[in-house]
Amino acid sequence: MNEIFYGQKNFLKSQENFLSGLNPYMLTPDVWVQMQQQLVKESPSTEASCSKEIKESLPKSFKPTLRDTIFWCIYVAINGEAFYQSQLKSGTNMINLMMNEKKAISEHFNKNATLLKNSNHKITLAKINEIKCNLMTKPMMDSVESFIPCSIYYGRPIYVYFEEIHSYLRFNDKNYVSDEDDNSKIDENIILLSAKDGKFVLEYDVGNFMKKKDALFQIQHYEKSLSGVSNYKTEEIREIYKTVFGEDAEMKKPEYYEKVLVKTTAVVNAKK
């Protein structure tokens, strides 16, 4: 056998010959280093592949099955979908849970009424009182106005995307400090919702939205999507028209303005 594998008759009689023959098959320090180097070369692609598979398997959005989709989207964004599902399975009275949470929000602003003034959307004192009252008396958060107290109470910016008009609204506390201007980062505190089929959906892919938002029309105020007509040049309002309607047309400045204003206002303020 020695002659067949090694071509030496006295192979086993020499310890040196014996060990040198086994060296390639032994876990020596040199072999260990080579193995580690090989693993390092292979691991990045393996990790990337696994990461991609996990990412693709994650849900892209959460669509509430309970009424008041605004509240439940925000609730899941704050507490996580797994916690929400566990409460459903355990038989928790979700209506009571919702009312208790709304009560906590209402009491918070009753004690600190001026906090609602910190919204990036300017609102009157009468509107502040209306918002506080609605938190306790209205059975549902049925308008985008509800994002004002939510964004301030939870201390997180909320983006609302309206695919139909290629536009979005942002709600946040004016004192909120974000690092989203750093192109290398996405603010992990952002809550993103989209209006779909008359209801709101919580979107998980915030990064993708943030990359494309510059191509969308940012509505500055939820009650009036445009400033006065005199604040726009014809070409400016035409570009907004093209974004909102997804097409171009030859019209006069007042016509562009009116069509954009009517369309955006109707979509944004539609009851959900």
pLDDT in tens, 61-114: 999 999 999 999 999 999 999 999 999 999 999 999 999 999 999 999 999 888
Query: Would you state the pLDDT for residue 196?
Result: 81
Query: Would you state the pLDDT for residue 140?
Result: 87
Mean pLDDT of 2-17: 50
The pLDDT confidence band at residue 54, using thresholds 50, 70 and 90, is very low
The pLDDT confidence band at residue 178, using thresholds 50, 70 and 90, is confident
Task: Read off the DSSP letter of residue 7.
Answer: S
Whether the pLDDT of residue 13 is over 80: the answer is no
Whether the pLDDT of residue 11 is over 90: the answer is no
Contact 169, 222 (CB under 8 A): yes
Q: For 146-162, write each residue's pLDDT tens digit.
A: 999 999 999 999 999 99
- Cα(268)–Cα(165) distance, rounded to whole angstroms? 9
Whether the pLDDT of residue 209 is over 80: the answer is yes
The residue among 190, 198, 185 whose CA lies nearest residue 170 is 190
How do strand 191-196 and strand 199-203 relate by DSSP bridges? antiparallel
The pLDDT confidence band at residue 183, using thresholds 50, 70 and 90, is low
The pLDDT confidence band at residue 23, using thresholds 50, 70 and 90, is low
Contact 193, 213 (CB under 8 A): no
Q: Which residue has the higher pLDDT, 175 or 24?
A: 175
Query: Would you state the pLDDT for residue 182?
Result: 55
Query: Would you state the pLDDT for residue 197?
Result: 76
Contact 175, 118 (CB under 8 A): yes
Query: Would you state the pLDDT for residue 270?
Result: 82
Query: Would you state the pLDDT for residue 41?
Result: 52
Mean pLDDT of 181-190: 76
Q: Which residue has the higher pLDDT, 58 or 77?
A: 77
Q: E-strand spans in the chain?
A: 61-62, 158-162, 167-171, 191-196, 199-203, 217-218
- Cα(111)–Cα(76) distance, rounded to whole angstroms? 26
The pLDDT confidence band at residue 139, using thresholds 50, 70 and 90, is confident
Query: Would you state the pLDDT for residue 20?
Result: 52
Whether the pLDDT of residue 58 is over 70: the answer is no
Mean pLDDT of the chain: 84
Distances from the Cα of 134 to the Cα of 69, 190, 270, 271, angstroms? 16, 25, 17, 15
Whether the pLDDT of residue 55 is over 50: the answer is no
- Cα(153)–Cα(144) distance, rounded to whole angstroms? 15
- Cα(239)–Cα(256) distance, rounded to whole angstroms? 9
Widest Cα–Cα separation across the chain: 104
Residue ranges of the domains in the chain?
A: 2-46, 61-214
CATH number for the segment(s) 61-214: 3.90.70
Query: Would you state the pLDDT for residue 144?
Result: 94
Burial of 220 (0-12, 13-18, 19+ CB in 10 A): middle
